[in-house]
Structure 1
Amino acid sequence: VSQNAQIWEQKLQEAVRCWHNFRECERIISDWLMKAEQLISEKHIDTKEIVESHKVFFERVNERWIHDLVQTAQDLRNCLPTDQQRTIVNSVERLQSKWKEVLSFAPLHLMRLEFRLDETTFHQYIKDIDKEINIEQQAFNKQENVDAIIARNKEFFVNRGVVLEVEHCIENMKKIAESYSKWQPTDNSL
Protein backbone atom coordinates (compact mmCIF):
# COMPACT_ATOMS: atom_id res chain seq x y z
CA VAL A 1 0.00 0.00 0.00
CA SER A 2 2.83 2.35 0.92
CA GLN A 3 4.59 1.62 -2.35
CA ASN A 4 1.37 2.23 -4.32
CA ALA A 5 0.90 5.52 -2.51
CA GLN A 6 4.43 6.59 -3.48
CA ILE A 7 3.81 5.64 -7.12
CA TRP A 8 0.58 7.65 -7.17
CA GLU A 9 2.29 10.58 -5.47
CA GLN A 10 5.03 10.53 -8.15
CA LYS A 11 2.41 10.37 -10.91
CA LEU A 12 0.53 13.24 -9.32
CA GLN A 13 3.70 15.33 -9.00
CA GLU A 14 4.55 14.56 -12.63
CA ALA A 15 1.05 15.60 -13.72
CA VAL A 16 1.31 18.86 -11.74
CA ARG A 17 4.73 19.55 -13.29
CA CYS A 18 3.38 18.83 -16.79
CA TRP A 19 0.35 21.07 -16.25
CA HIS A 20 2.58 23.87 -14.96
CA ASN A 21 4.98 23.60 -17.92
CA PHE A 22 2.15 23.44 -20.43
CA ARG A 23 0.34 26.45 -18.93
CA GLU A 24 3.59 28.43 -18.87
CA CYS A 25 4.26 27.72 -22.58
CA GLU A 26 0.64 28.48 -23.38
CA ARG A 27 0.87 31.80 -21.49
CA ILE A 28 4.10 32.86 -23.25
CA ILE A 29 2.63 32.20 -26.69
CA SER A 30 -0.73 33.78 -25.84
CA ASP A 31 1.00 36.90 -24.51
CA TRP A 32 3.16 37.16 -27.65
CA LEU A 33 0.14 36.68 -29.93
CA MET A 34 -1.85 39.31 -28.03
CA LYS A 35 1.02 41.81 -28.35
CA ALA A 36 1.43 40.94 -32.05
CA GLU A 37 -2.27 41.54 -32.69
CA GLN A 38 -2.09 44.87 -30.85
CA LEU A 39 0.83 45.96 -33.02
CA ILE A 40 -0.88 44.81 -36.21
CA SER A 41 -4.08 46.69 -35.35
CA GLU A 42 -2.23 49.89 -34.36
CA LYS A 43 -3.38 52.72 -36.61
CA HIS A 44 -1.22 55.74 -35.81
CA ILE A 45 2.25 54.81 -36.92
CA ASP A 46 4.04 57.94 -37.94
CA THR A 47 7.67 57.61 -36.94
CA LYS A 48 10.60 55.50 -38.06
CA GLU A 49 11.12 54.47 -34.42
CA ILE A 50 7.67 52.89 -34.20
CA VAL A 51 8.22 51.04 -37.48
CA GLU A 52 11.59 49.82 -36.17
CA SER A 53 10.03 48.64 -32.90
CA HIS A 54 7.50 46.60 -34.89
CA LYS A 55 10.31 45.12 -37.00
CA VAL A 56 12.30 44.17 -33.92
CA PHE A 57 9.26 42.57 -32.30
CA PHE A 58 8.44 40.39 -35.31
CA GLU A 59 12.05 39.55 -36.12
CA ARG A 60 12.74 38.37 -32.57
CA VAL A 61 10.01 35.76 -32.58
CA ASN A 62 11.23 32.60 -30.89
CA GLU A 63 10.23 29.46 -32.80
CA ARG A 64 11.30 27.45 -29.77
CA TRP A 65 8.18 28.63 -27.93
CA ILE A 66 5.88 26.73 -30.26
CA HIS A 67 8.16 23.68 -30.15
CA ASP A 68 8.12 23.80 -26.33
CA LEU A 69 4.33 24.08 -26.35
CA VAL A 70 4.01 20.95 -28.49
CA GLN A 71 6.50 19.08 -26.31
CA THR A 72 4.89 20.07 -23.00
CA ALA A 73 1.47 19.21 -24.43
CA GLN A 74 2.75 15.75 -25.35
CA ASP A 75 4.20 15.29 -21.86
CA LEU A 76 0.90 16.38 -20.32
CA ARG A 77 -1.14 14.09 -22.58
CA ASN A 78 1.02 11.18 -21.42
CA CYS A 79 -0.11 11.92 -17.84
CA LEU A 80 -3.81 12.24 -18.67
CA PRO A 81 -6.48 9.67 -19.41
CA THR A 82 -7.41 9.46 -23.09
CA ASP A 83 -10.81 11.08 -22.59
CA GLN A 84 -9.17 14.25 -21.14
CA GLN A 85 -6.55 14.77 -23.85
CA ARG A 86 -8.77 16.45 -26.47
CA THR A 87 -8.82 19.85 -24.72
CA ILE A 88 -5.01 19.91 -24.74
CA VAL A 89 -4.89 18.98 -28.43
CA ASN A 90 -7.49 21.65 -29.24
CA SER A 91 -5.58 24.31 -27.33
CA VAL A 92 -2.31 23.47 -29.10
CA GLU A 93 -3.98 23.40 -32.52
CA ARG A 94 -5.66 26.75 -31.88
CA LEU A 95 -2.41 28.39 -30.77
CA GLN A 96 -0.43 26.86 -33.64
CA SER A 97 -3.00 28.09 -36.13
CA LYS A 98 -2.98 31.61 -34.68
CA TRP A 99 0.83 31.56 -34.55
CA LYS A 100 1.08 30.63 -38.24
CA GLU A 101 -1.53 33.22 -39.18
CA VAL A 102 0.28 36.04 -37.36
CA LEU A 103 3.69 35.03 -38.68
CA SER A 104 2.40 34.88 -42.24
CA PHE A 105 0.76 38.30 -41.83
CA ALA A 106 3.74 40.00 -40.16
CA PRO A 107 5.81 40.64 -43.33
CA LEU A 108 2.80 42.26 -45.02
CA HIS A 109 2.17 44.38 -41.95
CA LEU A 110 5.78 45.57 -41.90
CA MET A 111 5.73 46.37 -45.62
CA ARG A 112 2.55 48.42 -45.21
CA LEU A 113 4.09 50.30 -42.28
CA GLU A 114 7.22 51.19 -44.21
CA PHE A 115 5.18 52.17 -47.26
CA ARG A 116 2.87 54.42 -45.23
CA LEU A 117 5.82 56.07 -43.50
CA ASP A 118 7.47 56.83 -46.87
CA GLU A 119 4.12 57.97 -48.22
CA THR A 120 3.66 60.39 -45.32
CA THR A 121 7.19 61.72 -45.81
CA PHE A 122 6.53 62.08 -49.54
CA HIS A 123 3.32 64.04 -48.91
CA GLN A 124 5.15 66.34 -46.51
CA TYR A 125 7.83 67.01 -49.13
CA ILE A 126 5.13 67.77 -51.70
CA LYS A 127 3.53 70.28 -49.32
CA ASP A 128 6.93 71.89 -48.68
CA ILE A 129 7.65 72.03 -52.42
CA ASP A 130 4.24 73.55 -53.14
CA LYS A 131 4.79 76.14 -50.43
CA GLU A 132 8.25 76.99 -51.78
CA ILE A 133 7.00 77.34 -55.36
CA ASN A 134 4.20 79.64 -54.16
CA ILE A 135 6.69 81.81 -52.27
CA GLU A 136 8.93 82.01 -55.34
CA GLN A 137 5.91 82.74 -57.57
CA GLN A 138 4.84 85.59 -55.26
CA ALA A 139 8.38 86.98 -55.24
CA PHE A 140 8.45 86.85 -59.04
CA ASN A 141 5.01 88.51 -59.27
CA LYS A 142 6.28 91.30 -56.99
CA GLN A 143 9.15 91.68 -59.46
CA GLU A 144 11.78 90.88 -56.86
CA ASN A 145 15.35 90.17 -57.95
CA VAL A 146 15.23 87.19 -60.34
CA ASP A 147 18.77 86.12 -59.42
CA ALA A 148 17.75 85.99 -55.74
CA ILE A 149 14.67 83.91 -56.63
CA ILE A 150 16.80 81.51 -58.70
CA ALA A 151 19.35 81.27 -55.86
CA ARG A 152 16.56 80.51 -53.40
CA ASN A 153 15.18 77.87 -55.77
CA LYS A 154 18.60 76.27 -56.15
CA GLU A 155 19.12 76.31 -52.38
CA PHE A 156 15.77 74.65 -51.73
CA PHE A 157 15.71 72.07 -54.51
CA VAL A 158 19.39 71.25 -55.02
CA ASN A 159 21.46 72.15 -51.97
CA ARG A 160 18.91 70.89 -49.43
CA GLY A 161 18.49 67.72 -51.47
CA VAL A 162 14.69 67.88 -51.54
CA VAL A 163 14.46 66.40 -55.03
CA LEU A 164 16.78 63.54 -54.08
CA GLU A 165 14.74 62.86 -50.94
CA VAL A 166 11.49 62.82 -52.92
CA GLU A 167 13.04 60.45 -55.46
CA HIS A 168 14.28 58.27 -52.60
CA CYS A 169 10.75 58.10 -51.11
CA ILE A 170 9.27 57.20 -54.49
CA GLU A 171 11.90 54.52 -55.09
CA ASN A 172 11.32 53.01 -51.63
CA MET A 173 7.55 52.98 -52.13
CA LYS A 174 8.00 51.36 -55.55
CA LYS A 175 10.23 48.59 -54.11
CA ILE A 176 7.87 47.94 -51.22
CA ALA A 177 4.82 47.89 -53.51
CA GLU A 178 6.53 45.41 -55.86
CA SER A 179 7.53 43.15 -52.99
CA TYR A 180 4.07 43.43 -51.43
CA SER A 181 2.37 42.50 -54.71
CA LYS A 182 4.44 39.31 -54.85
CA TRP A 183 3.01 38.32 -51.45
CA GLN A 184 -0.49 39.62 -52.14
CA PRO A 185 -1.08 39.75 -55.92
CA THR A 186 -4.77 40.65 -55.53
CA ASP A 187 -4.19 43.56 -53.12
CA ASN A 188 -3.53 46.84 -54.93
CA SER A 189 -3.74 49.06 -51.84
CA LEU A 190 -0.08 50.09 -51.99
Structure 2
Amino acid sequence: QLVDTFEQINHQACYWEKEFSQHSQLWKDFHQRLKHLEEWIDKAQTAVKEKHEDYAYLIRKHKDFFQTINDEILHGFIKSGRELLHIRDKTEQKEIQLLMDTLENKWNTIICYAPVRLLRLQFERIEKIVVQELEQAENELNDELKQLERQHDTTEILRRHNERFQLNNFHPTMEIHMRDLQTFANDIRTKEQGQTLVSHENEQIDQRTIKLNNYWSNMQAKIDNVRRKLQTIPKKWQEFEEKFHHVESWMATIERSMTNTQNTDIPLEQYKAVVNKFK
Protein backbone atom coordinates (compact mmCIF):
# COMPACT_ATOMS: atom_id res chain seq x y z
CA GLN A 1 0.00 0.00 0.00
CA LEU A 2 2.87 2.32 0.76
CA VAL A 3 4.30 1.63 -2.66
CA ASP A 4 0.97 2.42 -4.29
CA THR A 5 0.72 5.65 -2.36
CA PHE A 6 4.24 6.62 -3.39
CA GLU A 7 3.53 5.88 -7.03
CA GLN A 8 0.34 7.90 -6.86
CA ILE A 9 2.14 10.86 -5.33
CA ASN A 10 4.94 10.52 -7.86
CA HIS A 11 2.43 10.40 -10.69
CA GLN A 12 0.69 13.51 -9.41
CA ALA A 13 4.01 15.27 -9.00
CA CYS A 14 4.95 14.45 -12.58
CA TYR A 15 1.55 15.63 -13.75
CA TRP A 16 1.80 18.95 -11.94
CA GLU A 17 5.37 19.40 -13.05
CA LYS A 18 4.26 18.87 -16.63
CA GLU A 19 1.33 21.25 -16.14
CA PHE A 20 3.59 23.84 -14.58
CA SER A 21 6.06 23.48 -17.43
CA GLN A 22 3.29 23.88 -20.02
CA HIS A 23 1.80 26.87 -18.22
CA SER A 24 5.20 28.48 -17.88
CA GLN A 25 5.84 27.96 -21.58
CA LEU A 26 2.45 29.45 -22.46
CA TRP A 27 3.15 32.50 -20.30
CA LYS A 28 6.62 32.86 -21.75
CA ASP A 29 5.33 32.57 -25.31
CA PHE A 30 2.49 35.00 -24.59
CA HIS A 31 4.81 37.65 -23.13
CA GLN A 32 7.32 37.29 -25.96
CA ARG A 33 4.60 37.76 -28.55
CA LEU A 34 3.12 40.60 -26.51
CA LYS A 35 6.47 42.38 -26.48
CA HIS A 36 6.92 41.86 -30.22
CA LEU A 37 3.43 43.20 -30.97
CA GLU A 38 3.82 46.24 -28.71
CA GLU A 39 7.17 47.07 -30.32
CA TRP A 40 5.61 46.89 -33.79
CA ILE A 41 2.69 49.09 -32.73
CA ASP A 42 5.08 51.66 -31.22
CA LYS A 43 7.15 51.78 -34.42
CA ALA A 44 4.03 51.97 -36.58
CA GLN A 45 2.56 54.83 -34.53
CA THR A 46 5.86 56.67 -34.79
CA ALA A 47 5.90 56.11 -38.55
CA VAL A 48 2.40 57.52 -39.13
CA LYS A 49 3.04 60.53 -36.88
CA GLU A 50 6.54 61.48 -38.02
CA LYS A 51 7.03 65.01 -39.35
CA HIS A 52 9.73 66.10 -41.76
CA GLU A 53 10.25 68.84 -44.34
CA ASP A 54 11.28 66.28 -46.95
CA TYR A 55 8.05 64.59 -48.02
CA ALA A 56 9.89 62.25 -50.38
CA TYR A 57 11.80 60.94 -47.36
CA LEU A 58 8.58 60.41 -45.36
CA ILE A 59 6.88 58.66 -48.28
CA ARG A 60 9.83 56.36 -48.84
CA LYS A 61 10.10 55.55 -45.13
CA HIS A 62 6.36 54.92 -44.86
CA LYS A 63 6.38 52.56 -47.84
CA ASP A 64 9.40 50.68 -46.54
CA PHE A 65 7.73 50.08 -43.18
CA PHE A 66 4.22 49.16 -44.33
CA GLN A 67 5.07 47.49 -47.62
CA THR A 68 5.36 44.06 -46.00
CA ILE A 69 3.33 43.59 -42.83
CA ASN A 70 3.82 40.33 -40.97
CA ASP A 71 0.30 39.40 -39.86
CA GLU A 72 1.76 36.62 -37.74
CA ILE A 73 2.80 39.27 -35.22
CA LEU A 74 -0.86 39.81 -34.36
CA HIS A 75 -2.27 36.38 -35.12
CA GLY A 76 0.43 34.61 -33.13
CA PHE A 77 -0.27 36.86 -30.15
CA ILE A 78 -4.03 36.23 -30.34
CA LYS A 79 -3.51 32.48 -30.62
CA SER A 80 -1.11 32.48 -27.68
CA GLY A 81 -3.56 34.52 -25.62
CA ARG A 82 -6.46 32.18 -26.33
CA GLU A 83 -4.39 29.20 -25.27
CA LEU A 84 -3.56 31.01 -22.07
CA LEU A 85 -7.21 31.80 -21.36
CA HIS A 86 -8.02 28.12 -20.87
CA ILE A 87 -5.70 27.75 -17.90
CA ARG A 88 -6.42 30.98 -16.01
CA ASP A 89 -9.21 31.93 -13.65
CA LYS A 90 -12.03 34.25 -14.69
CA THR A 91 -10.42 37.39 -13.28
CA GLU A 92 -7.20 36.83 -15.21
CA GLN A 93 -9.16 35.79 -18.28
CA LYS A 94 -10.88 39.19 -18.36
CA GLU A 95 -7.56 41.00 -18.03
CA ILE A 96 -5.93 38.94 -20.75
CA GLN A 97 -8.93 39.32 -23.07
CA LEU A 98 -9.00 43.09 -22.52
CA LEU A 99 -5.30 43.31 -23.37
CA MET A 100 -5.82 41.22 -26.50
CA ASP A 101 -8.78 43.33 -27.65
CA THR A 102 -6.95 46.61 -26.97
CA LEU A 103 -3.85 45.66 -28.93
CA GLU A 104 -5.87 44.14 -31.77
CA ASN A 105 -7.86 47.38 -32.08
CA LYS A 106 -4.65 49.40 -32.15
CA TRP A 107 -3.25 47.12 -34.85
CA ASN A 108 -6.40 47.37 -36.98
CA THR A 109 -6.57 51.15 -36.56
CA ILE A 110 -2.99 51.54 -37.78
CA ILE A 111 -3.52 49.13 -40.69
CA CYS A 112 -6.61 51.09 -41.77
CA TYR A 113 -5.00 54.50 -41.35
CA ALA A 114 -1.63 53.73 -42.97
CA PRO A 115 -2.91 53.92 -46.60
CA VAL A 116 -4.68 57.21 -45.83
CA ARG A 117 -1.52 58.55 -44.25
CA LEU A 118 0.45 57.67 -47.40
CA LEU A 119 -2.10 59.46 -49.58
CA ARG A 120 -1.91 62.51 -47.32
CA LEU A 121 1.88 62.58 -47.60
CA GLN A 122 1.64 62.32 -51.38
CA PHE A 123 -0.97 65.09 -51.42
CA GLU A 124 1.13 67.36 -49.22
CA ARG A 125 4.25 66.75 -51.32
CA ILE A 126 2.44 67.93 -54.46
CA GLU A 127 0.79 70.75 -52.53
CA LYS A 128 4.19 72.03 -51.41
CA ILE A 129 5.52 71.93 -54.98
CA VAL A 130 2.46 73.76 -56.33
CA VAL A 131 2.64 76.50 -53.70
CA GLN A 132 6.36 77.03 -54.34
CA GLU A 133 5.87 77.16 -58.11
CA LEU A 134 2.97 79.61 -57.88
CA GLU A 135 4.76 81.86 -55.41
CA GLN A 136 7.86 81.93 -57.62
CA ALA A 137 5.69 82.65 -60.66
CA GLU A 138 3.96 85.52 -58.88
CA ASN A 139 7.29 86.99 -57.80
CA GLU A 140 8.55 86.74 -61.38
CA LEU A 141 5.47 88.49 -62.78
CA ASN A 142 5.63 91.26 -60.19
CA ASP A 143 9.30 91.81 -60.99
CA GLU A 144 8.54 91.96 -64.72
CA LEU A 145 5.87 94.60 -64.11
CA LYS A 146 8.29 96.65 -62.01
CA GLN A 147 10.89 96.44 -64.77
CA LEU A 148 8.24 97.57 -67.22
CA GLU A 149 7.27 100.55 -65.06
CA ARG A 150 10.92 101.59 -64.95
CA GLN A 151 10.92 101.53 -68.78
CA HIS A 152 13.55 98.82 -69.05
CA ASP A 153 14.11 96.98 -72.32
CA THR A 154 10.69 95.51 -73.13
CA THR A 155 12.14 93.00 -75.56
CA GLU A 156 14.41 91.59 -72.87
CA ILE A 157 11.54 91.43 -70.36
CA LEU A 158 9.37 89.60 -72.89
CA ARG A 159 12.21 87.18 -73.65
CA ARG A 160 12.58 86.50 -69.95
CA HIS A 161 8.82 86.06 -69.58
CA ASN A 162 8.60 83.57 -72.44
CA GLU A 163 11.59 81.65 -71.17
CA ARG A 164 9.99 81.29 -67.74
CA PHE A 165 6.41 80.55 -68.74
CA GLN A 166 6.49 79.29 -72.34
CA LEU A 167 9.72 77.46 -73.05
CA ASN A 168 10.15 75.37 -69.89
CA ASN A 169 6.75 73.60 -69.96
CA PHE A 170 5.55 75.57 -66.95
CA HIS A 171 1.87 75.31 -67.86
CA PRO A 172 1.80 71.55 -68.73
CA THR A 173 3.81 70.74 -65.62
CA MET A 174 1.46 72.72 -63.41
CA GLU A 175 -1.56 71.06 -65.00
CA ILE A 176 -0.09 67.65 -64.14
CA HIS A 177 0.53 68.75 -60.55
CA MET A 178 -3.03 70.06 -60.21
CA ARG A 179 -4.50 66.83 -61.57
CA ASP A 180 -2.36 64.78 -59.20
CA LEU A 181 -3.42 67.00 -56.32
CA GLN A 182 -7.10 66.48 -57.13
CA THR A 183 -6.58 62.73 -57.57
CA PHE A 184 -4.96 62.36 -54.15
CA ALA A 185 -7.70 64.47 -52.55
CA ASN A 186 -10.38 62.26 -54.14
CA ASP A 187 -8.56 59.08 -53.11
CA ILE A 188 -8.30 60.29 -49.52
CA ARG A 189 -12.01 61.05 -49.43
CA THR A 190 -12.92 57.68 -50.95
CA LYS A 191 -10.61 55.76 -48.63
CA GLU A 192 -11.88 57.52 -45.51
CA GLN A 193 -15.52 57.13 -46.48
CA GLY A 194 -14.96 53.43 -47.10
CA GLN A 195 -13.48 53.07 -43.64
CA THR A 196 -15.88 55.53 -41.97
CA LEU A 197 -12.89 57.69 -41.09
CA VAL A 198 -14.25 60.98 -42.45
CA SER A 199 -12.58 63.71 -40.46
CA HIS A 200 -12.13 67.45 -40.19
CA GLU A 201 -8.71 67.00 -41.80
CA ASN A 202 -10.38 65.74 -44.97
CA GLU A 203 -12.54 68.86 -45.09
CA GLN A 204 -9.36 70.91 -44.80
CA ILE A 205 -7.82 69.03 -47.72
CA ASP A 206 -10.89 69.80 -49.85
CA GLN A 207 -10.62 73.47 -48.92
CA ARG A 208 -6.89 73.53 -49.63
CA THR A 209 -7.48 71.90 -53.02
CA ILE A 210 -10.12 74.48 -53.95
CA LYS A 211 -7.87 77.31 -52.78
CA LEU A 212 -4.94 76.09 -54.89
CA ASN A 213 -7.17 75.60 -57.94
CA ASN A 214 -8.32 79.20 -57.59
CA TYR A 215 -4.75 80.36 -57.08
CA TRP A 216 -3.69 78.53 -60.25
CA SER A 217 -6.59 79.97 -62.27
CA ASN A 218 -5.76 83.49 -61.13
CA MET A 219 -2.09 82.94 -61.91
CA GLN A 220 -2.89 81.81 -65.46
CA ALA A 221 -4.92 84.97 -65.98
CA LYS A 222 -2.11 87.13 -64.61
CA ILE A 223 0.47 85.42 -66.83
CA ASP A 224 -1.70 86.08 -69.90
CA ASN A 225 -2.28 89.70 -68.90
CA VAL A 226 1.41 90.40 -68.38
CA ARG A 227 2.32 88.73 -71.67
CA ARG A 228 -0.27 90.79 -73.57
CA LYS A 229 1.01 93.94 -71.93
CA LEU A 230 4.59 93.10 -72.87
CA GLN A 231 3.53 92.36 -76.44
CA THR A 232 1.36 95.47 -76.73
CA ILE A 233 3.91 98.03 -75.60
CA PRO A 234 6.48 97.25 -78.35
CA LYS A 235 3.64 97.48 -80.88
CA LYS A 236 2.65 100.88 -79.54
CA TRP A 237 6.26 102.00 -79.73
CA GLN A 238 6.38 100.86 -83.36
CA GLU A 239 3.22 102.82 -84.14
CA PHE A 240 4.69 105.85 -82.39
CA GLU A 241 7.92 105.57 -84.38
CA GLU A 242 5.95 105.30 -87.63
CA LYS A 243 3.95 108.42 -86.76
CA PHE A 244 7.11 110.20 -85.71
CA HIS A 245 8.68 109.26 -89.06
CA HIS A 246 5.67 110.70 -90.87
CA VAL A 247 6.00 113.92 -88.88
CA GLU A 248 9.69 114.09 -89.73
CA SER A 249 8.91 113.61 -93.42
CA TRP A 250 6.23 116.30 -93.24
CA MET A 251 8.62 118.69 -91.50
CA ALA A 252 11.27 118.04 -94.15
CA THR A 253 8.72 118.81 -96.84
CA ILE A 254 7.81 122.07 -95.09
CA GLU A 255 11.43 123.07 -94.81
CA ARG A 256 12.00 122.43 -98.51
CA SER A 257 8.88 124.40 -99.38
CA MET A 258 9.96 127.33 -97.24
CA THR A 259 13.33 127.28 -98.91
CA ASN A 260 11.64 127.30 -102.32
CA THR A 261 9.52 130.34 -101.40
CA GLN A 262 12.70 132.26 -100.79
CA ASN A 263 14.01 131.36 -104.23
CA THR A 264 13.34 134.39 -106.47
CA ASP A 265 14.62 132.70 -109.59
CA ILE A 266 11.67 130.33 -110.01
CA PRO A 267 8.76 131.17 -112.38
CA LEU A 268 5.62 132.82 -110.97
CA GLU A 269 3.40 129.80 -111.54
CA GLN A 270 5.81 127.50 -109.68
CA TYR A 271 6.05 130.04 -106.86
CA LYS A 272 2.24 130.09 -106.52
CA ALA A 273 2.20 126.28 -106.36
CA VAL A 274 4.71 126.33 -103.51
CA VAL A 275 2.71 128.93 -101.59
CA ASN A 276 -0.50 126.91 -102.02
CA LYS A 277 1.09 124.06 -100.06
CA PHE A 278 0.83 126.20 -96.91
CA LYS A 279 -2.86 126.96 -97.38
- Tell me the TM-score normalised to structure 1 length: 0.86
Alignment match, 1:96:
104
Query: How is 1:140-151 mapped onto 2 (pairs within 5 angstroms)?
Result: 140-151=148-159
- Answering whether residue 184 of structure 2 is matched by residue 176 of structure 1, we say yes
Alignment match, 2:44:
36
Structure-1 separation of matches of 2:15 and 2:178: 70
Query: How is 1:1-190 mapped onto 2 (pairs within 5 angstroms)?
Result: 1-185=9-193, 187-190=202-205
Q: Deviation digits for residues 132-163 of structure 1, max 9, x if unmatched? A: 11232233233333332222222222343333
Residues 158 and 9 of structure 1, relative CA distance in 2, 3 Å threshold: farther
Stretch moving more, 133-142 or 68-77: 133-142
Return the letter of the residue paired with 2:204: S
Residues 168 and 92 of structure 1, relative CA distance in 2, 3 Å threshold: same
Deviation at 1:88, TM superposition (A): 1.6
Structure-2 separation of matches of 1:18 and 1:100: 25
Stretch moving more, 158-167 or 174-183: 158-167
Deviation at 1:44, TM superposition (A): 4.0
Structure-1 separation of matches of 2:173 and 2:40: 37
- How many aligned positions are there? 190
Return the letter of the residue paired with 2:69: V
Deviation at 1:114, TM superposition (A): 1.5
Deviation at 1:7, TM superposition (A): 2.3
Return the letter of the residue paired with 2:139: K
Structure-2 separation of matches of 1:45 and 1:70: 38
Stretch moving more, 62-71 or 80-89: 80-89
Structure-1 separation of matches of 2:123 and 2:138: 22
Alignment match, 2:277:
none
Return the letter of the residue paired with 1:69: F
Runs of 4+ displaced beyond 4 Å: none
- Tell me the TM-score normalised to structure 2 length: 0.61
Structure-2 separation of matches of 1:16 and 1:160: 70
Structure-1 separation of matches of 2:103 and 2:67: 19
Taking only the aligned residue pairs, the percentage that are identical comes to: 22
Deviation at 1:45, TM superposition (A): 4.7
Secondary structure (helix, strand or coil) at the match of 1:144 reads coil
Q: Deviation digits for residues 66-114 of structure 1, max 9, x if unmatched? A: 1111111122223434553222211111111111122222222222222
Matched-pair contact (CA < 8 Å) for 2:85–2:93: yes
Residues 20 and 160 of structure 1, relative CA distance in 2, 3 Å threshold: farther
Structure-2 separation of matches of 1:162 and 1:71: 57
Structure-2 separation of matches of 1:151 and 1:181: 43
Q: Deviation digits for residues 9-67 of structure 1, max 9, x if unmatched? A: 22222212211211122122212222222233334454211122123323332222111
